[in-house]
Amino acid sequence: MIWQIDLILLAFVLVCALASLMVKDLLSSAVIFGAYSFFMCILWAEMGAVDVAFTEAAVGAGVSTIFFIVAIVKTTRRTKD
């Protein structure tokens, strides 16, 4: 565990989480959420929990992003607030 890499990854995670909340376009928000999951996955792998990292990469960055995008296609792309 190298604290410089940890700090950079945590900063990326924070930026992705805030951007995913702030962005008006829901499709961009879903894609940024996928990026957030991917940075979380790198963070898990860097901490030594490889199984959790694998699950995060497969479920968080892969399938849940697809489900979000399908839901956006079926409903609306713009958020009201």
Partner 1 sequence: MTSRFDDVIIQTVCRILIPFIQIFGLYVIAHGHSSPGGGFQGGVILGASFILLCLSYDIKEMKRRLSRKRAILFSALGVIIYAGIGLLCLLLDGNYLDYGRLHRILPVDPVRARSMGILGIEIGVGMTVMAVMVTIFIDLASEEEKRN
Partner 2 sequence: MKLIALIAVSLTGAILIYGTADMPDWGDPGSPASLHVSPRYIEKSVEETQVPNIVTSVLADYRGYDTLGETTVIFTAGIACILLIRRFGR
Q: List contacts with partner 1 (CB under 8 A).
A: 50-51, 53-55, 58-59, 62-63, 66-67, 70-71, 73-74
Residue 47 binds partner 2, judged by CB under 8 A = yes
Stretch that binds partner 2, among 14-22, 30-38, 46-54 (CB under 8 A): 46-54
**Tokens describing residue 40:** 């979380």
Q: Which of 52, 13, 9, 47 is nearest to 33 (CA)?
A: 13
Cβ nearer to partner 2, comparing 28 with 58: 58
Cα–Cα distance for residue pair 57/33, rounded to 1 Å: 12
Instruction: Report the run of H or E that residue 37 belongs to, with start and end.
Output: helix 26-47
Instruction: Give the residues lining the site for partner 2 (CB under 8 A).
Output: 1, 47-48, 51
